[in-house]
């Protein structure tokens, strides 16, 4: 019986690349593909390339080592490994089913250390109060999150869902992906700056009762520095949006004032509708005699009101004595006034009449002149019509005219003098000014045809910048007064010329005079409690650091250990 002789491998028949190297290449390629999948927003060429290299390496290894490949499939490791894979698949399927059930049932658990996505008791009480107030409007919370922010969106949804539940249905929420609906960004732009909403922000918008849809014009953007402060900032904005207040505007119906109910171009119905429908103001056009006498029909400085303002839109005659007395008494007791000037073809106009002009100069250091301003630099159409694009620094004008061609159109406007020394406690801020080439004329007869040559500047004209509108504040009484032009009130500048901000200037002037914005800032304003635990300080890292940390902890360490185990098994197997 012959004894089989061992065969010695021919070195010339050995493959150039050892099979074990192919397995290592495949493992590294698959690991790279998984890393790209979890750390990059797009799988891309690198991910697909790594996946392809891994598959090709496995196929080549199987072709070069068919016996080892078949033994691997028939071996005990595959038998036991197949059972492990089957159990793993079943566990994954069970987890998916469990997640689907929990998600459909709306069950949430906040596991963060500081309960960042759970309402605390203070916030919860406020949300419950908003929901139980019958005067509070329906509100929609709109979260703008794209697919790359899915995890943050899911976490925020826990918070929004709890708010909706505590509000008893008064507050609802939805999510919008700006990548799929980019036009919505402009729709919910910041009303003051015109900046569009961006992904990662939340908008609070009251529901328009007429349409049942969110009202973008009344919406506010929530700006939270981090997730912990989100519930506080969100609640503050909710309070601001849902709190209406009692605000009143009284328009005195005098000769040559704007009819605030008229719908034609020279009427003022547009502003009236905006105040009543969008801001829930009480707006009345009243007879001036209604504020006079010991028992007036309209009681000014009503303590029940959160704010009120008297508005005079023009007037070609001086105020009657009894109306003048009632109006000045109202101002001296802290009342607020918006006074818009107009011309008079016969005598002094109301705003420049001796009684009112002298009173304003004595008490507030300003005087409206009975003249007409000519500014050829800013003139349009004729010498007396101009477009003013330079605004003074004041809350009324902040963010006004955000477009390059925006401005205030004025026609037949008076100049305003400001005293060098103002009464104690009085502050006067110019709102609109002309160019430094402007001048004014008096005694112009507007009933006759005017020769344009006669309006050219002469040596007697005082050329320089003229003030056309001012905001006055008396810290002694709290009185706020705005002096401007009747052109601010016309419907024409709301409806026909979008780049002309006359109407918006009047609305802002009334809001400032009545302290409308101050009312909301004085509402309950909650702030997050500062964390004094030195061992519980939030860790702030960049996106790149977060991706690296996730790659190391989720991929490199576990798969590296797994790969090392596989390599050790393979090396021990090859020695047998």
Place of tokens 């290299």: 53
Q: What residues contact 385, with CB distance under 8 A and at least 6 apart?
A: 379, 409, 410, 411
* pLDDT of res. 174: 92
Beta bridge partner(s), residue 368: 416
Rounded CA separation 142/139 (Å): 10
509: how many CB neighbours lie within 10 A of its CB? 26
Question: 558-566 long-range CB contacts below 8 Å, 24 or more apart?
Answer: 559/31, 559/34, 563/27, 563/31, 566/27
Residue 368 corresponds to which tokens in the numbers above? 């409206």
Could you give all domains of the chain from N- to C-terminal order, each with its CATH number?
Answer: 17-105+551-575 (no CATH), 121-242 (3.40.30.10), 247-445+459-521 (3.40.50)
Angle (deg, nearest 10), helices 150-166 and 121-132: 60
User: Whole-model pTM?
Assistant: 0.59
Rounded CA separation 91/86 (Å): 9
pLDDT in tens, 304-332: 888 999 999 999 999 999 999 999 999 99
Residue 291 corresponds to which tokens in the numbers above? 């504020």
* pLDDT of res. 14: 60
From the list 325, 322, 324, 368, the residue with the least C-alpha distance to 348 is: 368
* pLDDT of res. 9: 55
Q: List average pLDDT for each run of 10 residues in the chain, which is 576 residues long.
A: 55 65 82 76 76 84 77 62 62 72 64 56 77 80 88 84 86 90 84 79 87 85 66 77 82 94 92 85 93 92 90 93 95 95 85 94 94 87 85 88 76 92 96 92 79 79 91 95 93 76 92 84 52 47 71 74 73 65
**Distance, CA of 250 to chain centre:** 31
Strands 379-380 and 382-388: antiparallel
Does residue 443 contact residue 450 with C-beta atoms inside 8 Å? no
* pLDDT of res. 533: 43
Give me the phi and psi of 176, to 5 degrees please: -130, 135
Helix (H, G, I), strand (E, B) or coil at 366: strand
* pLDDT of res. 531: 43
Residue 75 corresponds to which tokens in the numbers above? 């071996």
Range list of β-strands (E), 442-512? 467-474, 480-485
Rg (CA), the chain: 37
Give me the phi and psi of 243, to 5 degrees please: -80, 120
Residue 255 corresponds to which tokens in the numbers above? 């000769």
Does residue 438 contact residue 377 with C-beta atoms inside 8 Å? yes
The percent of the chain in helix, strand and coil, each rounded to the nearest 5, is 40, 15, 40
Rounded CA separation 74/65 (Å): 14
The DSSP symbol for 407 reads B
pLDDT in tens, 241-263: 776 678 999 999 999 999 999 99
* pLDDT of res. 133: 72
CA atoms within 13 A on the CB side of 452: 5
Place of tokens 């009464």: 423
């Amino acid at each position: 019986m012959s004894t089989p002789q061992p065969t010695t491998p021919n070195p010339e028949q050995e493959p150039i690349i050892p099979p074990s190297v192919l397995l290592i290449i495949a493992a590294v390629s698959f690991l790279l593909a998984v890393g790209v999948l979890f750390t990059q927003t797009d799988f891309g060429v690198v991910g697909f390339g790594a996946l392809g290299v891994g598959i090709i390496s496995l196929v080549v290894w199987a072709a070069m080592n068919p016996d080892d490949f078949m033994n691997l499939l028939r071996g005990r490791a595959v038998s036991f490994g197949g059972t492990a894979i089957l159990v793993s698949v079943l566990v994954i399927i069970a987890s998916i089913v469990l997640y689907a059930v929990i998600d459909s049932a709306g069950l949430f658990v906040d596991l963060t250390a500081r309960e960042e996505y759970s309402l605390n008791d203070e916030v919860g009480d406020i949300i419950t109060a908003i929901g139980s107030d019958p005067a509070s409007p329906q509100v929609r919370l709109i979260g703008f999150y794209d697919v790359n922010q899915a995890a943050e969106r899911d976490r925020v949804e826990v918070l929004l869902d709890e708010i909706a539940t505590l509000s008893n249905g008064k507050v609802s929420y939805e999510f919008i992906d700006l990548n799929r609906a980019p036009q919505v960004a402009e729709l919910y732009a910041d009303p003051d700056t015109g900046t569009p909403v961006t992904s990662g922000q939340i908008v609070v918008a009251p529901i328009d009762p007429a349409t049942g849809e969110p009202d973008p014009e009344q919406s506010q953007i929530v700006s939270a520095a981090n997730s912990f402060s989100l519930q506080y900032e969100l609640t503050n904005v909710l309070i601001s949006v849902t709190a209406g207040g009692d605000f009143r505007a009284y328009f005195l119906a005098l000769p040559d004032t704007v009819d605030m109910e008229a719908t034609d171009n020279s009427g003022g119905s547009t502003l009236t509708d905006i105040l009543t429908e969008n801001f829930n103001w009480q707006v009345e056009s009243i007879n001036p005699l209604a504020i006079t006498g010991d028992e007036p029909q309209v009681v000014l400085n009503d303590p029940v009101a959160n704010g009120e303002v008297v508005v005079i839109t023009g007037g070609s005659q001086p105020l009657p004595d009894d109306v003048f007395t009632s109006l000045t008494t109202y101002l001296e007791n802290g009342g607020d006034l918006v006074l818009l000037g107009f011309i008079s073809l016969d005598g002094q106009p109301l705003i420049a009449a001796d009684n009112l002009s002298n009173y304003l100069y004595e008490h507030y250091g300003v005087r409206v002149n009975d003249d007409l301003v000519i500014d050829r630099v800013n003139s349009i159409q004729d010498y007396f019509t101009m477009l003013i694009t330079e605004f003074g620094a004041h809350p009324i004008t902040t963010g006004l005219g955000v477009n390059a061609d925006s401005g205030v159109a004025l026609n037949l406007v008076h100049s305003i003098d400001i005293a060098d020394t103002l009464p104690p406690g009085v502050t006067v801020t110019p709102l609109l000014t002309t160019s430094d080439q402007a001048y004014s004329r008096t005694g112009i007869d507007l009933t006759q045809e005017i020769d344009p040559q006669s309006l050219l500047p002469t040596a007697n004209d005082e050329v320089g910048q003229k003030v056309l509108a001012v905001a006055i504040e008396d810290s002694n009484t709290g009185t706020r007064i705005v002096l401007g032009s009747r052109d601010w009130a016309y419907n024409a500048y709301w409806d026909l010329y979008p780049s002309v901000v006359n109407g918006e200037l009047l609305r802002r002037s009334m809001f400032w005079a009545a302290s409308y914005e101050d009312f909301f800032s004085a509402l309950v304003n909650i702030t997050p409690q500062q964390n004094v635990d030195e061992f519980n300080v939030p860790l702030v890292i960049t996106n790149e650091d977060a991706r690296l940390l996730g790659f190391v902890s989720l991929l490199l360490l576990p798969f590296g250990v797994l790969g090392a185990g596989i390599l050790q098994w393979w090396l021990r197997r090859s020695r047998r």
